[in-house]
Structure 1
């Protein structure tokens, strides 16, 4: 099972959840001088959408907290695709490092 969980809260309304601080890459996040919290994961999600999945832009909203990343909306397919992208990063330290390095090079600031 991946790091994310896609749930239907109400008919046609979905939330993608990632419990921050429970991924395989938390130590890597800390070593990169970031906090493995929901806000950090929002930054990763934004970068993934901007660089790898532009077709997802605008298809859901973000509502992270310190302990959890949340994306929400009515487009289950888009949220599932974001979940797959996040699951891949949450289990691959090298991929996480590459995303953070590219974000920093682009002047992106994580809000963690």
Structure 2
């Protein structure tokens, strides 16, 4: 299941989008005490970049809203890489549980 999509919003400007509340792991997110909103997913993205994909750091910007996660920029490869990582988490309840547990243990704030 693909929950993220990469769209060209203007010439050379791309947005990676996820409609919050539409992933297979929404119930797990709530079970873990979080809201499956755009701000939570920004936290997931930031955690993944800082722990698994440091090469992506600084290559795009975040602009989430309550009902949508959005990362945008001009670096297609970076946004595609983030999308691949996030798809893995969005479709795997056990991976989401591990990610939230590790982030919580580290004192990370998902800001949801």
* Shorter-chain TM-score range: over 0.9
Q: Distance in 2 between matches of 1:109 and 1:71?
A: 18
TM superposition score normalised by structure 2: 0.98
Which whole-Å deviations, capped at 9, do the CAs of 1:19-75 have from their partners, x for residues lacking one?
Answer: 000000000000001000000000000000000000000000000000000000000
Q: Distance in 1 between matches of 2:9 and 2:37?
A: 22
Q: Which runs of 5+ in 2 are unaligned?
A: none
Residue 101 of structure 2 is aligned to residue 101 of structure 1: yes
Structure 2 partner of 1:4: 4
Q: Distance in 1 between matches of 2:61 and 2:98?
A: 25
Moved over 6 A (4+): none
Q: For the aligned residues, what is the CA RMSD?
A: 0.6
Q: Which runs of 5+ in 1 are unaligned?
A: none
Q: Distance in 1 between matches of 2:84 and 2:15?
A: 14
Q: Distance in 1 between matches of 2:3 and 2:73?
A: 19
TM superposition score normalised by structure 1: 0.98
Q: Distance in 1 between matches of 2:12 and 2:2?
A: 23
Structure 1 partner of 2:70: 70
